[in-house]
């Protein structure tokens, strides 16, 4: 099984384990509503209690994402966001914060940029890892090796429909944490977390000792609390992107984002300490 990561991501999960709570991972579409505001929005999420930021690189065909993030990608692309500008935003963030940053991307823009160049430039800018949404784990060895050579974590997705073989490969190629998709389908807010997620967590634990973080469909404090009780990380994306869509033209957007994030993270900050021997 993979050893714990020595990146900021690995250090984060060590710290939250010591604190007896799950980490809160927030997704943000980089460049939405304006590439020049990405850094200030990341800092607002951090002030609200986010422990790690997934910076989504906008893409013209985001097949895993629902309408909310699709619209955000379209807005960001129209505003001129691309990978070099995202890395410039990361350098700006690093002047003010050491929060773990995970690049969330589809393969096409990364292939066009080149993985060797990506690994060098992302590492230099201050990215801590890359989440490769549509890279088949059966073909992941070379990109993973290039990214790991620059001490970048590589994160892969597992879903309720994943076979045991796929869970094994996801565990093999992941570092930092494993991203568990709570249900089949695309991203988006839901009234309730899918009931099959607990079984997925149990299956994934048989293949890896890495932290497990659950995303897709989590959008309320109650849902955050429920997931935080059974895994090491809770991921919220569409609810955050939806708020940015609603207040994108407002100069008070960072304040709205900080307040909303503080509401979502409150159950984790107030979580009881883990019992001795408990996994988290």
The catalytic residues are 54, 65
Paired with 102 in beta bridges are 54, 129
60: which DSSP letter? S
Q: Strands (DSSP E) along 110-186, which ranges?
A: 129-132, 153-155, 157-158, 178-181
For residue 140, which of 169, 111, 181 has the smallest C-alpha distance? Answer: 169
Distance spanning both ends of the chain, measured CA to CA: 17
CB of 37 closer than 8 Å to CB of 86? no
Q: Which helix (H) or strand (E) holds 171?
A: helix 164-173
Strand partners, 99: none
Where are the alpha helices (H) located in the chain, listed in sequence order? Answer: 8-19, 38-47, 67-78, 83-94, 107-113, 115-125, 141-148, 164-173, 197-205, 221-228, 238-247, 253-269
Tokens of 185: 């389908």
């Amino acid at each position: 099984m993979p050893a714990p990561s020595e990146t900021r991501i690995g250090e984060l999960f060590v710290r939250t384990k010591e604190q007896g709570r799950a980490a809160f991972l927030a997704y943000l579409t980089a460049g939405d509503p304006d590439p020049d505001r990405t850094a200030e929005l990341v800092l607002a999420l951090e002030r609200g209690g986010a422990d790690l930021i997934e910076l989504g690189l906008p893409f013209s065909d985001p097949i895993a994402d629902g309408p909310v993030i699709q619209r955000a990608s379209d807005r960001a692309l129209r505003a001129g966001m691309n990978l070099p500008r995202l890395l410039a935003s990361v350098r700006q963030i690093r002047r003010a914060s050491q929060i773990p940053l995970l690049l969330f991307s589809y393969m096409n823009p990364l292939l066009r940029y080149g993985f060797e160049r990506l690994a060098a430039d992302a590492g230099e800018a201050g990215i801590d890892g890359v989440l490769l949404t549509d890279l088949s784990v059966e073909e992941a060895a070379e990109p993973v090796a290039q990214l790991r050579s620059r001490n970048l974590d590589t994160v892969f997705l597992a879903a309720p429909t994943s076979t045991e073989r796929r869970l094994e490969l996801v565990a093999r190629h992941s570092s930092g944490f494993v991203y568990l998709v709570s249900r089949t389908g695309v991203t988006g807010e839901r009234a309730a977390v899918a009931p099959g997620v607990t079984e997925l967590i149990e299956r994934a634990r048989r293949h890896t000792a890495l932290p497990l973080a659950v995303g897709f469909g989590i959008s309320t404090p109650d849902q955050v609390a429920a997931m935080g009780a059974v895994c090491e990380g809770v991921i919220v994306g569409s609810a955050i992107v939806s708020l940015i869509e609603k207040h994108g033209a407002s100069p008070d957007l960072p304040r709205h984002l900080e307040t909303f994030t503080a509401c979502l993270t409150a159950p984790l900050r107030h979580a009881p300490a883990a019992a001795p021997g408990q996994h988290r």
